[in-house]
Amino acid sequence: MLITCPYCGPRDVIEFTYQGDANRARPDLHSTDQAEWNAYTYDRVNTLADHAEYWQHSGGCRAHLKLVRSTLTHAISSVEFARPHAGHKPSSRRKPGAST
Amino acid sequence: MAEYSVFSLLRNAFSATPDWKPAWRKPDPKPEYDVVIVGGGGHGLSTAYYLAKEHGITNVAVVERGWLGQGNIGRNTTMIRSNYLLPQNQHFYEHSMKLWENLSHDLNYNVMFSQRGCLNLANSTSQLDDFARRGNAMRHVGIDAELMTPQQIKAFLPALDLNIGGRFPVYGGMIQRRAGTARHDAVAWGYARGADRRGVDLLENCEVTGFLRDGDRIAGVTTTRGEIRAKKVAVAVAGHTGQLMKMAGIDRLPIESHVLQAFVSEGLKPFMDTVVTFGAGHLYVTQSDKGGMVFGGDIDGYNTYAQRGNLPIVEDVMSELAAMFPGLSRVRLLRSWGGIMDMSMDGSPIITAGPLPGMYLNAGWCYGGFKATPASGWCFAWTIARDEPHPYNAAFTLDRFHRGLVIDEKGQGSTPRLH
Protein backbone atom coordinates (compact mmCIF):
# COMPACT_ATOMS: atom_id res chain seq x y z
CA MET A 1 0.00 0.00 0.00
CA LEU A 2 1.41 3.39 -1.02
CA ILE A 3 0.28 6.67 0.52
CA THR A 4 1.04 9.86 -1.38
CA CYS A 5 2.14 12.39 1.22
CA PRO A 6 1.49 15.95 0.06
CA TYR A 7 5.04 16.92 1.11
CA CYS A 8 7.04 13.80 0.35
CA GLY A 9 5.25 12.05 -2.49
CA PRO A 10 4.34 8.37 -2.65
CA ARG A 11 5.79 6.40 0.27
CA ASP A 12 5.32 2.88 1.59
CA VAL A 13 2.67 2.38 4.25
CA ILE A 14 5.34 1.33 6.79
CA GLU A 15 6.33 5.01 7.07
CA PHE A 16 2.86 5.89 8.31
CA THR A 17 0.98 5.42 11.57
CA TYR A 18 -2.74 4.86 11.53
CA GLN A 19 -4.59 7.26 13.80
CA GLY A 20 -8.11 6.05 13.37
CA ASP A 21 -11.50 6.95 12.17
CA ALA A 22 -12.03 10.53 10.96
CA ASN A 23 -15.81 10.21 10.97
CA ARG A 24 -16.19 11.45 14.51
CA ALA A 25 -15.89 14.92 15.93
CA ARG A 26 -14.33 15.50 19.33
CA PRO A 27 -16.75 17.31 21.62
CA ASP A 28 -15.85 20.73 22.86
CA LEU A 29 -13.12 20.29 25.47
CA HIS A 30 -15.24 22.07 28.05
CA SER A 31 -18.24 19.86 27.42
CA THR A 32 -19.36 17.74 30.34
CA ASP A 33 -21.94 15.86 28.31
CA GLN A 34 -21.14 12.24 29.23
CA ALA A 35 -23.15 10.70 26.40
CA GLU A 36 -21.36 12.87 23.86
CA TRP A 37 -17.91 11.92 25.17
CA ASN A 38 -18.82 8.23 25.39
CA ALA A 39 -20.05 8.24 21.81
CA TYR A 40 -16.85 9.95 20.69
CA THR A 41 -14.68 7.51 22.62
CA TYR A 42 -16.38 4.24 21.74
CA ASP A 43 -18.77 4.41 18.79
CA ARG A 44 -17.58 3.96 15.21
CA VAL A 45 -19.28 4.01 11.80
CA ASN A 46 -17.04 1.13 10.60
CA THR A 47 -17.60 2.00 6.96
CA LEU A 48 -17.46 -0.54 4.17
CA ALA A 49 -15.76 0.98 1.09
CA ASP A 50 -14.68 4.65 1.25
CA HIS A 51 -13.53 5.41 4.78
CA ALA A 52 -12.26 8.76 6.08
CA GLU A 53 -9.34 8.27 8.43
CA TYR A 54 -6.29 9.97 9.93
CA TRP A 55 -2.72 8.85 9.32
CA GLN A 56 0.57 10.42 10.37
CA HIS A 57 3.67 10.33 8.18
CA SER A 58 5.57 9.42 11.33
CA GLY A 59 8.55 7.96 9.50
CA GLY A 60 8.87 10.99 7.24
CA CYS A 61 7.80 14.61 7.49
CA ARG A 62 5.52 13.82 10.48
CA ALA A 63 2.56 15.62 8.91
CA HIS A 64 -0.90 14.55 10.02
CA LEU A 65 -3.05 13.57 7.06
CA LYS A 66 -6.65 12.82 6.35
CA LEU A 67 -7.21 10.06 3.80
CA VAL A 68 -10.19 8.57 2.08
CA ARG A 69 -9.35 4.89 1.58
CA SER A 70 -11.50 1.99 0.43
CA THR A 71 -11.72 -0.63 3.15
CA LEU A 72 -12.41 -3.20 0.43
CA THR A 73 -9.57 -2.51 -2.00
CA HIS A 74 -7.19 -0.22 -0.05
CA ALA A 75 -7.42 2.25 -2.96
CA ILE A 76 -6.81 5.79 -1.70
CA SER A 77 -8.98 8.40 -3.37
CA SER A 78 -7.85 11.52 -1.51
CA VAL A 79 -5.06 12.71 0.77
CA GLU A 80 -5.00 16.10 2.45
CA PHE A 81 -3.62 17.72 5.56
CA ALA A 82 -5.59 16.94 8.69
CA ARG A 83 -5.32 20.36 10.32
CA PRO A 84 -8.35 22.00 8.68
CA HIS A 85 -10.43 18.99 9.78
CA ALA A 86 -9.18 18.66 13.32
CA GLY A 87 -11.42 21.38 14.66
CA HIS A 88 -8.78 22.94 16.89
CA LYS A 89 -9.46 26.54 17.72
CA PRO A 90 -6.63 28.88 18.67
CA SER A 91 -6.22 29.02 22.43
CA SER A 92 -8.09 31.91 23.94
CA ARG A 93 -5.23 32.39 26.35
CA ARG A 94 -2.89 33.41 23.60
CA LYS A 95 -2.36 37.16 23.48
CA PRO A 96 -3.48 38.81 20.26
CA GLY A 97 -0.54 39.36 17.98
CA ALA A 98 1.83 37.12 19.93
CA SER A 99 4.12 35.10 17.73
CA THR A 100 3.73 31.34 17.72
CA MET B 1 -28.48 -40.02 10.48
CA ALA B 2 -26.30 -42.71 11.93
CA GLU B 3 -24.15 -42.33 14.98
CA TYR B 4 -20.47 -42.54 14.22
CA SER B 5 -19.02 -45.49 16.09
CA VAL B 6 -16.30 -48.06 15.82
CA PHE B 7 -18.87 -50.46 14.37
CA SER B 8 -20.08 -48.02 11.71
CA LEU B 9 -16.46 -47.34 10.81
CA LEU B 10 -15.70 -51.05 10.49
CA ARG B 11 -18.86 -51.79 8.52
CA ASN B 12 -18.15 -48.98 6.08
CA ALA B 13 -14.47 -49.79 5.86
CA PHE B 14 -15.35 -53.14 4.27
CA SER B 15 -18.12 -51.94 1.95
CA ALA B 16 -18.60 -49.35 -0.73
CA THR B 17 -19.77 -47.05 2.08
CA PRO B 18 -23.44 -47.04 1.05
CA ASP B 19 -24.39 -45.92 4.54
CA TRP B 20 -22.52 -42.62 4.56
CA LYS B 21 -25.06 -39.88 4.20
CA PRO B 22 -24.55 -36.12 4.00
CA ALA B 23 -23.97 -34.79 7.52
CA TRP B 24 -26.88 -32.39 7.30
CA ARG B 25 -30.03 -31.85 5.22
CA LYS B 26 -30.46 -29.07 2.66
CA PRO B 27 -33.97 -27.89 3.54
CA ASP B 28 -35.92 -25.06 1.93
CA PRO B 29 -36.72 -22.13 4.21
CA LYS B 30 -40.00 -22.32 6.08
CA PRO B 31 -42.00 -19.09 6.23
CA GLU B 32 -41.60 -18.78 9.99
CA TYR B 33 -39.38 -20.04 12.81
CA ASP B 34 -39.16 -19.49 16.54
CA VAL B 35 -35.56 -18.35 16.17
CA VAL B 36 -33.58 -17.31 13.11
CA ILE B 37 -29.82 -17.19 13.59
CA VAL B 38 -27.99 -15.03 11.06
CA GLY B 39 -24.54 -16.45 10.43
CA GLY B 40 -23.59 -20.08 9.83
CA GLY B 41 -20.15 -19.94 11.41
CA GLY B 42 -18.94 -21.53 14.59
CA HIS B 43 -20.86 -19.28 16.95
CA GLY B 44 -24.10 -19.38 14.97
CA LEU B 45 -24.00 -23.16 14.64
CA SER B 46 -23.12 -23.77 18.28
CA THR B 47 -25.94 -21.40 19.28
CA ALA B 48 -28.38 -23.47 17.22
CA TYR B 49 -27.03 -26.69 18.71
CA TYR B 50 -27.37 -25.53 22.32
CA LEU B 51 -30.79 -23.96 21.68
CA ALA B 52 -31.98 -27.40 20.62
CA LYS B 53 -30.04 -29.47 23.11
CA GLU B 54 -30.23 -27.38 26.28
CA HIS B 55 -33.49 -25.51 25.80
CA GLY B 56 -35.56 -27.76 23.53
CA ILE B 57 -36.04 -25.01 20.97
CA THR B 58 -35.78 -26.84 17.66
CA ASN B 59 -37.90 -24.68 15.35
CA VAL B 60 -34.74 -22.81 14.42
CA ALA B 61 -33.08 -21.76 11.17
CA VAL B 62 -29.44 -20.84 10.66
CA VAL B 63 -29.14 -18.46 7.70
CA GLU B 64 -25.75 -18.38 5.99
CA ARG B 65 -24.94 -16.32 2.90
CA GLY B 66 -22.34 -18.79 1.63
CA TRP B 67 -21.66 -22.26 2.91
CA LEU B 68 -21.46 -23.40 6.51
CA GLY B 69 -18.12 -22.63 8.07
CA GLN B 70 -17.15 -20.30 5.24
CA GLY B 71 -16.00 -17.52 7.55
CA ASN B 72 -13.64 -17.18 10.45
CA ILE B 73 -14.34 -20.65 11.89
CA GLY B 74 -12.37 -21.96 8.91
CA ARG B 75 -9.73 -19.23 8.92
CA ASN B 76 -8.04 -19.07 12.28
CA THR B 77 -5.06 -20.54 14.09
CA THR B 78 -7.24 -23.01 16.09
CA MET B 79 -5.81 -22.18 19.51
CA ILE B 80 -7.82 -22.71 22.68
CA ARG B 81 -7.02 -21.35 26.15
CA SER B 82 -8.68 -19.86 29.20
CA ASN B 83 -5.73 -17.95 30.69
CA TYR B 84 -7.50 -14.70 31.48
CA LEU B 85 -7.02 -12.23 34.30
CA LEU B 86 -10.39 -10.55 34.67
CA PRO B 87 -13.13 -12.55 36.44
CA GLN B 88 -15.74 -11.94 33.73
CA ASN B 89 -13.45 -13.48 31.11
CA GLN B 90 -12.13 -16.22 33.42
CA HIS B 91 -15.53 -17.72 34.11
CA PHE B 92 -16.65 -17.48 30.52
CA TYR B 93 -13.54 -18.94 28.89
CA GLU B 94 -13.15 -21.64 31.54
CA HIS B 95 -16.72 -22.70 30.82
CA SER B 96 -15.69 -22.88 27.18
CA MET B 97 -12.67 -25.02 28.09
CA LYS B 98 -14.88 -27.46 29.98
CA LEU B 99 -17.21 -27.72 26.99
CA TRP B 100 -14.20 -28.33 24.72
CA GLU B 101 -13.04 -31.14 26.96
CA ASN B 102 -16.24 -33.07 26.32
CA LEU B 103 -17.08 -31.75 22.86
CA SER B 104 -16.15 -34.70 20.64
CA HIS B 105 -18.17 -37.00 22.89
CA ASP B 106 -21.08 -34.58 23.12
CA LEU B 107 -21.27 -34.06 19.34
CA ASN B 108 -20.40 -37.66 18.41
CA TYR B 109 -17.96 -35.96 16.06
CA ASN B 110 -14.19 -35.90 16.42
CA VAL B 111 -13.14 -32.25 16.73
CA MET B 112 -9.58 -33.38 17.46
CA PHE B 113 -9.30 -31.29 20.62
CA SER B 114 -5.69 -31.66 21.65
CA GLN B 115 -4.63 -30.38 25.07
CA ARG B 116 -1.04 -29.73 24.12
CA GLY B 117 -0.69 -26.70 26.39
CA CYS B 118 -0.21 -22.99 25.79
CA LEU B 119 3.05 -21.41 26.95
CA ASN B 120 3.30 -17.61 27.22
CA LEU B 121 6.93 -16.49 27.22
CA ALA B 122 8.00 -13.62 29.48
CA ASN B 123 10.73 -11.50 27.92
CA SER B 124 11.21 -9.17 30.87
CA THR B 125 11.10 -9.59 34.63
CA SER B 126 8.08 -7.32 34.86
CA GLN B 127 6.27 -9.46 32.31
CA LEU B 128 7.08 -12.51 34.41
CA ASP B 129 5.61 -10.74 37.44
CA ASP B 130 2.53 -10.03 35.38
CA PHE B 131 2.22 -13.70 34.43
CA ALA B 132 2.63 -14.68 38.08
CA ARG B 133 -0.23 -12.36 38.92
CA ARG B 134 -2.39 -13.69 36.13
CA GLY B 135 -1.55 -17.31 36.97
CA ASN B 136 -2.41 -16.73 40.62
CA ALA B 137 -5.70 -15.11 39.64
CA MET B 138 -6.47 -18.14 37.48
CA ARG B 139 -5.53 -20.70 40.14
CA HIS B 140 -7.60 -18.77 42.64
CA VAL B 141 -10.74 -19.66 40.66
CA GLY B 142 -9.67 -23.20 39.85
CA ILE B 143 -8.07 -22.77 36.40
CA ASP B 144 -4.71 -24.46 35.91
CA ALA B 145 -1.60 -22.33 35.46
CA GLU B 146 2.08 -22.91 36.14
CA LEU B 147 5.10 -20.64 36.01
CA MET B 148 8.11 -22.12 34.24
CA THR B 149 11.77 -21.22 34.63
CA PRO B 150 13.97 -20.80 31.57
CA GLN B 151 15.55 -24.17 32.34
CA GLN B 152 12.16 -25.87 32.40
CA ILE B 153 11.23 -24.13 29.16
CA LYS B 154 14.46 -25.28 27.54
CA ALA B 155 13.66 -28.88 28.44
CA PHE B 156 10.02 -28.50 27.39
CA LEU B 157 10.65 -26.76 24.08
CA PRO B 158 14.21 -27.49 22.91
CA ALA B 159 13.81 -25.76 19.55
CA LEU B 160 13.22 -22.38 21.18
CA ASP B 161 16.04 -19.81 21.17
CA LEU B 162 16.00 -18.67 24.79
CA ASN B 163 17.73 -15.44 23.80
CA ILE B 164 15.28 -14.76 20.98
CA GLY B 165 17.70 -13.12 18.59
CA GLY B 166 19.86 -11.87 21.44
CA ARG B 167 17.46 -9.06 22.17
CA PHE B 168 14.66 -10.67 24.15
CA PRO B 169 16.00 -13.20 26.63
CA VAL B 170 13.37 -15.52 28.08
CA TYR B 171 12.96 -14.89 31.81
CA GLY B 172 10.36 -17.58 32.21
CA GLY B 173 6.84 -18.26 31.15
CA MET B 174 3.36 -19.27 32.13
CA ILE B 175 1.82 -22.45 30.84
CA GLN B 176 -1.77 -23.59 30.89
CA ARG B 177 -1.49 -27.31 30.23
CA ARG B 178 -5.19 -27.83 29.53
CA ALA B 179 -5.04 -25.34 26.67
CA GLY B 180 -4.45 -26.56 23.14
CA THR B 181 -5.90 -26.71 19.66
CA ALA B 182 -8.82 -28.27 17.80
CA ARG B 183 -9.64 -29.03 14.19
CA HIS B 184 -11.55 -25.86 13.32
CA ASP B 185 -13.60 -27.12 10.36
CA ALA B 186 -14.62 -30.22 12.31
CA VAL B 187 -15.99 -27.92 15.01
CA ALA B 188 -18.28 -26.26 12.46
CA TRP B 189 -19.29 -29.56 10.88
CA GLY B 190 -19.86 -31.25 14.23
CA TYR B 191 -22.11 -28.47 15.48
CA ALA B 192 -23.93 -28.32 12.14
CA ARG B 193 -24.61 -32.06 12.20
CA GLY B 194 -25.64 -31.95 15.85
CA ALA B 195 -28.06 -29.07 15.25
CA ASP B 196 -29.45 -30.66 12.09
CA ARG B 197 -30.12 -33.96 13.89
CA ARG B 198 -32.18 -32.07 16.45
CA GLY B 199 -34.31 -30.48 13.74
CA VAL B 200 -32.59 -27.16 13.07
CA ASP B 201 -32.81 -26.02 9.42
CA LEU B 202 -29.40 -25.01 8.07
CA LEU B 203 -30.06 -22.66 5.14
CA GLU B 204 -26.97 -22.15 3.01
CA ASN B 205 -26.60 -19.69 0.11
CA CYS B 206 -29.18 -17.54 1.82
CA GLU B 207 -27.95 -13.99 2.28
CA VAL B 208 -29.78 -11.61 4.58
CA THR B 209 -30.76 -8.44 2.74
CA GLY B 210 -32.77 -6.70 5.44
CA PHE B 211 -34.90 -7.03 8.53
CA LEU B 212 -38.66 -7.39 8.85
CA ARG B 213 -40.32 -5.24 11.47
CA ASP B 214 -43.49 -5.47 13.43
CA GLY B 215 -43.84 -1.99 14.83
CA ASP B 216 -40.58 -1.39 16.68
CA ARG B 217 -39.87 -5.06 16.94
CA ILE B 218 -37.59 -7.08 14.65
CA ALA B 219 -39.85 -9.80 13.26
CA GLY B 220 -37.67 -11.65 10.79
CA VAL B 221 -35.29 -11.23 7.90
CA THR B 222 -35.53 -10.77 4.17
CA THR B 223 -33.11 -13.00 2.32
CA THR B 224 -32.12 -13.98 -1.18
CA ARG B 225 -34.34 -17.05 -0.63
CA GLY B 226 -37.37 -15.06 0.45
CA GLU B 227 -38.78 -13.62 3.62
CA ILE B 228 -38.35 -15.58 6.83
CA ARG B 229 -40.35 -14.47 9.83
CA ALA B 230 -39.14 -15.24 13.32
CA LYS B 231 -40.14 -14.55 16.89
CA LYS B 232 -36.49 -13.92 17.68
CA VAL B 233 -33.62 -12.93 15.39
CA ALA B 234 -30.09 -13.66 16.59
CA VAL B 235 -27.08 -12.15 14.85
CA ALA B 236 -23.65 -13.83 14.92
CA VAL B 237 -21.77 -12.68 11.84
CA ALA B 238 -18.26 -11.86 13.11
CA GLY B 239 -16.54 -9.18 11.01
CA HIS B 240 -19.69 -8.00 9.29
CA THR B 241 -21.72 -7.11 12.39
CA GLY B 242 -21.46 -3.42 11.51
CA GLN B 243 -22.85 -3.95 8.03
CA LEU B 244 -25.74 -6.08 9.24
CA MET B 245 -26.61 -3.61 12.00
CA LYS B 246 -26.70 -0.83 9.42
CA MET B 247 -29.49 -2.78 7.69
CA ALA B 248 -31.35 -2.60 10.99
CA GLY B 249 -30.79 1.14 11.23
CA ILE B 250 -27.95 1.16 13.77
CA ASP B 251 -25.14 3.15 12.23
CA ARG B 252 -22.62 3.24 15.05
CA LEU B 253 -21.29 0.46 17.27
CA PRO B 254 -18.26 0.13 19.56
CA ILE B 255 -16.69 -2.09 16.90
CA GLU B 256 -14.23 -1.70 14.03
CA SER B 257 -13.55 -4.34 11.38
CA HIS B 258 -9.89 -5.22 10.89
CA VAL B 259 -7.99 -7.93 9.05
CA LEU B 260 -5.89 -10.52 10.88
CA GLN B 261 -3.50 -12.58 8.83
CA ALA B 262 -2.34 -16.09 9.62
CA PHE B 263 0.14 -18.44 8.03
CA VAL B 264 0.91 -22.11 7.56
CA SER B 265 4.29 -23.51 6.62
CA GLU B 266 5.03 -26.65 4.67
CA GLY B 267 4.66 -29.84 6.69
CA LEU B 268 7.51 -30.75 9.01
CA LYS B 269 8.34 -33.72 11.17
CA PRO B 270 7.29 -33.28 14.83
CA PHE B 271 8.98 -30.05 15.91
CA MET B 272 6.98 -28.74 18.87
CA ASP B 273 4.03 -30.14 20.75
CA THR B 274 2.55 -27.05 22.33
CA VAL B 275 1.21 -23.59 21.58
CA VAL B 276 3.78 -20.91 22.36
CA THR B 277 3.45 -17.14 22.38
CA PHE B 278 6.20 -14.53 22.13
CA GLY B 279 5.63 -11.93 24.80
CA ALA B 280 7.98 -9.15 23.70
CA GLY B 281 6.42 -8.90 20.29
CA HIS B 282 3.19 -10.57 19.37
CA LEU B 283 3.31 -14.02 17.84
CA TYR B 284 1.58 -17.31 18.54
CA VAL B 285 2.62 -20.56 16.94
CA THR B 286 1.74 -24.20 17.06
CA GLN B 287 2.27 -27.23 14.86
CA SER B 288 -0.78 -28.77 13.28
CA ASP B 289 -1.44 -32.48 13.32
CA LYS B 290 -0.48 -32.52 9.63
CA GLY B 291 2.91 -31.03 10.49
CA GLY B 292 2.59 -27.46 9.25
CA MET B 293 3.59 -24.63 11.55
CA VAL B 294 0.47 -22.51 12.12
CA PHE B 295 1.12 -18.99 13.30
CA GLY B 296 -0.06 -15.41 13.39
CA GLY B 297 0.66 -12.05 14.94
CA ASP B 298 -0.83 -8.59 14.93
CA ILE B 299 -3.75 -7.32 12.95
CA ASP B 300 -2.77 -5.05 10.07
CA GLY B 301 -3.86 -2.07 12.14
CA TYR B 302 -6.35 -0.14 10.05
CA ASN B 303 -10.00 -0.66 9.20
CA THR B 304 -10.54 -3.12 6.40
CA TYR B 305 -13.06 -5.56 4.98
CA ALA B 306 -10.58 -6.93 2.43
CA GLN B 307 -9.95 -10.57 3.26
CA ARG B 308 -6.27 -10.20 2.57
CA GLY B 309 -3.56 -8.36 4.39
CA ASN B 310 -0.58 -6.29 3.39
CA LEU B 311 3.10 -7.19 3.36
CA PRO B 312 4.49 -5.23 6.36
CA ILE B 313 2.68 -7.53 8.81
CA VAL B 314 3.85 -10.58 6.87
CA GLU B 315 7.43 -9.41 7.33
CA ASP B 316 6.82 -8.60 11.00
CA VAL B 317 5.34 -12.01 11.78
CA MET B 318 8.02 -13.90 9.85
CA SER B 319 10.83 -12.02 11.58
CA GLU B 320 9.41 -12.84 15.01
CA LEU B 321 9.01 -16.51 14.14
CA ALA B 322 12.57 -16.73 12.83
CA ALA B 323 13.86 -14.98 15.96
CA MET B 324 12.09 -17.42 18.29
CA PHE B 325 12.87 -20.51 16.26
CA PRO B 326 15.99 -19.93 14.16
CA GLY B 327 15.60 -23.50 12.90
CA LEU B 328 12.46 -22.45 11.03
CA SER B 329 14.08 -19.57 9.15
CA ARG B 330 14.36 -21.47 5.89
CA VAL B 331 11.06 -23.32 6.10
CA ARG B 332 8.81 -22.41 3.21
CA LEU B 333 5.44 -20.81 3.68
CA LEU B 334 2.57 -22.88 2.34
CA ARG B 335 -0.20 -20.30 2.48
CA SER B 336 -1.51 -17.24 4.24
CA TRP B 337 -4.97 -15.85 4.67
CA GLY B 338 -6.80 -12.96 6.25
CA GLY B 339 -10.00 -12.96 8.24
CA ILE B 340 -12.11 -9.95 9.16
CA MET B 341 -12.34 -9.36 12.89
CA ASP B 342 -14.87 -7.45 14.92
CA MET B 343 -12.48 -5.47 17.08
CA SER B 344 -14.47 -4.23 20.06
CA MET B 345 -13.30 -1.14 21.88
CA ASP B 346 -12.29 -2.95 25.08
CA GLY B 347 -11.13 -6.24 23.58
CA SER B 348 -13.99 -8.27 25.04
CA PRO B 349 -17.03 -9.74 23.33
CA ILE B 350 -20.68 -8.76 23.27
CA ILE B 351 -23.34 -11.43 23.92
CA THR B 352 -26.61 -9.76 24.70
CA ALA B 353 -30.28 -9.32 24.08
CA GLY B 354 -30.88 -6.31 21.85
CA PRO B 355 -29.91 -3.78 20.68
CA LEU B 356 -33.41 -3.76 19.13
CA PRO B 357 -36.52 -5.50 20.49
CA GLY B 358 -36.69 -9.06 19.15
CA MET B 359 -33.00 -9.05 18.29
CA TYR B 360 -30.01 -10.73 19.98
CA LEU B 361 -26.40 -9.85 19.28
CA ASN B 362 -23.23 -11.93 19.44
CA ALA B 363 -20.26 -9.86 18.29
CA GLY B 364 -16.94 -8.22 19.06
CA TRP B 365 -14.76 -11.31 19.29
CA CYS B 366 -11.59 -9.45 18.37
CA TYR B 367 -9.19 -12.19 17.47
CA GLY B 368 -10.16 -14.70 20.13
CA GLY B 369 -13.42 -16.04 18.83
CA PHE B 370 -12.44 -19.60 18.02
CA LYS B 371 -11.67 -20.75 21.56
CA ALA B 372 -14.96 -19.22 22.68
CA THR B 373 -17.09 -21.15 20.17
CA PRO B 374 -18.74 -23.59 22.62
CA ALA B 375 -19.36 -21.13 25.47
CA SER B 376 -20.40 -18.39 23.07
CA GLY B 377 -23.14 -20.56 21.60
CA TRP B 378 -24.06 -21.95 25.02
CA CYS B 379 -24.44 -18.49 26.58
CA PHE B 380 -26.10 -16.99 23.51
CA ALA B 381 -28.62 -19.85 23.41
CA TRP B 382 -29.37 -19.27 27.11
CA THR B 383 -29.84 -15.53 26.47
CA ILE B 384 -32.15 -16.14 23.50
CA ALA B 385 -34.20 -18.85 25.20
CA ARG B 386 -34.68 -17.08 28.52
CA ASP B 387 -34.44 -13.42 27.47
CA GLU B 388 -31.83 -12.86 30.13
CA PRO B 389 -28.10 -13.51 30.23
CA HIS B 390 -26.48 -16.39 32.04
CA PRO B 391 -24.07 -15.14 34.77
CA TYR B 392 -21.22 -16.19 32.45
CA ASN B 393 -22.17 -13.57 29.87
CA ALA B 394 -24.00 -11.05 32.03
CA ALA B 395 -21.09 -8.60 31.80
CA PHE B 396 -20.79 -8.83 28.00
CA THR B 397 -23.43 -6.20 27.28
CA LEU B 398 -23.43 -3.67 24.49
CA ASP B 399 -24.13 -0.71 26.78
CA ARG B 400 -21.15 -1.43 29.06
CA PHE B 401 -19.09 1.03 27.05
CA HIS B 402 -21.43 3.89 27.87
CA ARG B 403 -21.92 2.77 31.46
CA GLY B 404 -18.23 2.71 32.30
CA LEU B 405 -18.14 -1.07 32.75
CA VAL B 406 -15.62 -1.99 30.08
CA ILE B 407 -13.82 -5.36 30.35
CA ASP B 408 -10.37 -4.22 29.35
CA GLU B 409 -8.22 -7.34 29.77
CA LYS B 410 -5.07 -5.61 28.57
CA GLY B 411 -5.64 -2.29 30.29
CA GLN B 412 -5.02 -0.43 27.07
CA GLY B 413 -8.04 1.81 26.97
CA SER B 414 -10.47 2.31 24.18
CA THR B 415 -8.66 1.21 21.10
CA PRO B 416 -9.77 -1.49 18.70
CA ARG B 417 -6.32 -1.88 17.19
CA LEU B 418 -4.23 -3.34 20.01
CA HIS B 419 -6.26 -6.18 21.48
Put simply, the answer to whether B252 touches A13 (Cβ < 8 Å) is no
pLDDT at B14: 87
pLDDT at A83: 80
pLDDT at B1: 55
* Of the candidates B345, B363, B346, the residue with the CA atom closest to the CA atom of residue B408: B346
- What is the tens place of the pLDDT at every residue in B292-337? 999 999 999 999 999 888 999 999 999 999 999 999 999 999 999 9
Question: Above 50 in pLDDT, residue A63?
Answer: yes
Tell me whether A41 touches chain B (CB under 8 Å). Answer: yes
State the pLDDT confidence band at B20, using cuts at 50, 70 and 90: confident
Closest chain B CA to residue A33: B402
% residues pLDDT > 70 (chain B): 99
State the pLDDT confidence band at B2, using cuts at 50, 70 and 90: low
Contacts of A46 in chain B (CB under 8 A): 242, 252-253, 255-257, 303
Question: Above 50 in pLDDT, residue B345?
Answer: yes
Put simply, the answer to whether B304 touches A18 (Cβ < 8 Å) is no
Strands B275-278 and B283-287: antiparallel
Question: Above 90 in pLDDT, residue A86?
Answer: no
pLDDT at B53: 96
Question: Above 50 in pLDDT, residue A90?
Answer: no
Contacts of A22 in chain B (CB under 8 A): none
Closest chain B CA to residue A24: B252
Closest chain B CA to residue A43: B254
Q: Which of B242, B304, B401 sits opposite A42 (nearest CB)?
A: B401
Tell me whether A44 touches chain B (CB under 8 Å). Answer: yes
Average pLDDT on B116-121 reads 96
C-alpha distance across the termini of chain B, in Å: 42
Question: Above 60 in pLDDT, residue B144?
Answer: yes
Q: Edge-to-edge strands of the sheet including A50-56?
A: A17-21, A50-56, A64-70, A76-81
d(CA B148, CA B167): 20
Put simply, the answer to whether A44 touches B312 (Cβ < 8 Å) is no
Average pLDDT on A9-29 reads 92
Tell me whether A11 touches chain B (CB under 8 Å). Answer: no
Put simply, the answer to whether A41 touches B345 (Cβ < 8 Å) is yes
- What is the tens place of the pLDDT at every residue in B361-405? 999 999 889 999 999 999 999 999 999 999 999 999 999 999 989
Closest chain B CA to residue A44: B252
Contacts of B254 in chain A (CB under 8 A): 42-44
Angle formed by the axes of helices B42-55 and B184-197, to 10°? 40
Question: Above 70 in pLDDT, residue B179?
Answer: yes
pLDDT at A89: 52
- What is the tens place of the pLDDT at every residue in B42-75? 999 999 999 999 999 999 999 999 999 889 999 9
Put simply, the answer to whether B416 touches A44 (Cβ < 8 Å) is yes
Give the mean pLDDT of chain B.
93
pLDDT at B223: 95
- What is the tens place of the pLDDT at every residue in B149-170? 999 999 999 999 999 888 899 9
Report the residue of B303, B310, B343 to disrupt the A interface, i.e. the one with the largest count of A CBs within 10 Å.
Answer: B303
Q: Is the Cα torsion angle B166, B168, B172, B175 positive or negative in sign?
A: negative
C-alpha distance across the termini of chain A, in Å: 36
Segment holding A2, helix H or strand E: strand A2-5
Contacts of B414 in chain A (CB under 8 A): 41-42
